[in-house]
Amino acid sequence: MQESSTQTIPPAAGRGRFTRSNGPGPPPSPPRPPRPKLKKLRLALLLLGLGILALISTVFGMLMAVASDLPALENKSEYRAARNSVLYADLPGCKESDPGETCRQVATLTGNQNRILLSEGQISPNIKNAVIAIEDRRFYEHEGVDYRGIARALWQDIRRQGAVQGGSTITQQFVKNALSAQGNRSVLQKLRESALAYHLERKWTKDKVLTQYLNTVYFGNGAYGVESAARTYFGGGSEVDPITGEPLEREGTSASDVAPAEAALLAGMIASPSLYDPVENPRRATQRRDLALNRMLEQRMISPAQHREALDTPVPTDADIDPPAVDSDQPFFSTYLTQQLVDRYGPGVVFGGGLKIKTTLDPELQAAAEQAIAGRLSGIGPSASLVAIQNNTGEIKAMVGGTDYSQNAFNLATNGHRQPGSAFKPFTLVRALADGVSPEATFISSKRVFDLPNGPFEVNNYEDSYSGVASLRSATAASDNAVFADLGLKTGTRRIARLARRMGIRTSISTNPAMTLGGLREGVTPLEMAYAYSTIANKGVRKSGTFSPTQKGPVGIEWVRGPRGLDRDNEPREQRVFPDAVGETAHELMAGVITGGTGRAAQIGEFAAGKTGTTENYGDAWFVGFNREYTVAVWVGYPDRLKYMKTEYVGGPVAGGTYPA
């Protein structure tokens, strides 16, 4: 019997050794079971593949399903078949079940009244280029959905660890506006918009999409659509005859002939009309406009010479804008709330969604506020602004934004940033009291020069009146500049600014030494001052609600009722800012301003506390005060900051203790 032999074969490169047998050998061993990790990996890959297939199937199904929505978008008359939204006042007996019969109407919001629909050839290439440059630079390359843009936005969000960049195309934004879907940002809704955008671009030309988009955009200040925006911000085009509906031509700029600087400003406002409002936020508006201009230059939409000229062009001021007419007997308050509603629900819902909105406005208090101002100030004298807030709710009960909205639509109550003068001292007072400074602590009351790292800070009292030594109590009543400058510098201007912000001041507060006496970089608005003082009235508790701007401001809306689950109620919010005992002491000291100080004219026969404020050369006069129920801020001055009130009060100057108090 021949003996079996085994021959060893050298292994091939990259392979292990093996043997070849010339005869029968042991039976082969069973295969090894797969490793647990490998099984999990295979399962994960299988599930991922199934998920991708499911997603593709869903998107494909939606592409087919949304075809029925296209006729509404393609039919231009659909834009006109909108339902007006209505604002109502806060009156007893106002029932949400029947507001039309039980509530008093304040305003009607309709986009059709002021919007003019343009055709493709009626919009300047400058506007189209500016919008594409800053909103959707690949507009002419994608098919309604920009997958590259979505990936880029997602990558930026991951890098910044937050949502910092959007991936929506102009087509998707148009679909969102047309569907009035601003308030619904669910994943399903976004997928639906994407599918509809893709389907829409298979039927519409790019220029038609862009034109209809510009007809549906809200640009703030009541300007709905690009033609209305051009006329509002650049005095443009023509007005519409309210009877015939025919255009009434007048000199100005229309959407067909805007310059690059104007086009870039409008394009920059689309992302947030309130944030980039050239009147309310000129610095941000300019930065945003310049960003659009830079991108237009990068994409060779304008020449270097046009770019330089546009950068040197100032943005419009309150004297330049001419907002459309407002269907309201309280236009200042209505326009203030309209922007909040647009930010929350989008222009399509606000101007055509048939919303019913109950506001916080009290008609009786509003009438009293208007009569108080009209009875003291003549039409040719200084202007005035007033805001009244209910202490226990943070609700705005009255707002006077100016003398005559039809003559000047600039809202001094919400946008009029003016120097507060001594009306800013209570923020220093509260900060010092919270630090343990006693009301009876004494300070030097004399002309002072403080040696500071950036140079001397010289402080004088009104009419050079000094008491030598003053307690914090008496210095508050007398509005002693020398004492409060000393107190503020010792307390710390940064700490005062932080407290003021927590109390309700939203404007950026400079921390230079002059801020201790109310010398601020940007100034403050009457609305901010009333709201921040209401925190003192509440002894350290700042009241707000879910309908507050960013939930950190006063409340102007009680509830909203609308279709498709848009019903919302304001939910009260509150935050403790400083201790109750500090608030109690502040009440006591600020009451002394009225009983025996600069605010005697504000005595009402019951508890009241507050502070007067007068700026240099009598440019601004303030009184901000409160009783147990309300906090009221009053500002008097000329909109022209260089015009002073030296003889307007019975031949003498207007100070905080005169007209305002």
DSSP tag of 513: G
DSSP letter string over 583-600?
HHHHHHHHHHHHHHSTTG
pLDDT digits (tens, 9 = 90+) for 573-597: 999 999 999 999 999 999 999 999 9
Q: How confident is residue 77, by pLDDT bands cut at 50, 70 and 90? A: very low
Say whether pLDDT at 431 is over 60: yes
Locate 247 and state its tokens.
């255009």
d(CA 411, CA 337): 12
pLDDT digits (tens, 9 = 90+) for 446-481: 999 999 999 999 999 988 999 999 999 999 999 999
Mean pLDDT score of the chain: 86
Length of the chain measured in residues: 661
Interval 310-366: pLDDT, tens: 999 999 988 888 888 889 999 999 999 998 998 888 888 898 888 999 999 999 999
CA distance 154 to 242: 48
Decide if pLDDT at 154 tops 50: yes
**Spatial CB neighbours of 289, under 8 Å, sequence gap ≥ 6:** 261, 264, 265, 268, 315
Mean pLDDT across 600-622: 96
Are the C-beta atoms of 82 and 101 separated by less than 8 Å?
A: no
Residue 166 tokens, joined: 């959007």
Record the tokens describing residue 3, joined without a space.
């003996």
How many alpha carbons fall within 13 Å on the CB side of residue 525? 25
Q: Kindly state the tokens that stand for 652.
A: 């003498």
**Number of neighbours of residue 416 by Cβ within 10 angstroms:** 23
Dist CA 616 CA 453 (whole Å): 25
What number is the average pLDDT over the span 605-630? Answer: 97
The first and second tokens of residue 182, run together, are 């601003």
Which pLDDT score, from 0 to 100, does residue 83 have?
78
Other beta carbons less than 10 A from residue 286's beta carbon: 18
Average pLDDT over residues 232-248: 57
CB crowding 351-376: b at 16 or more within 10 Å, else e: bbbebbbbbbbbbebbeebeebbeee
The answer on pLDDT for 79 being more than 60 is no
Given a cut of 50, is residue 506 above it in pLDDT? yes
User: What domains, with CATH codes, occur in the chain?
Assistant: 116-143+202-323 (1.10.3810.10)
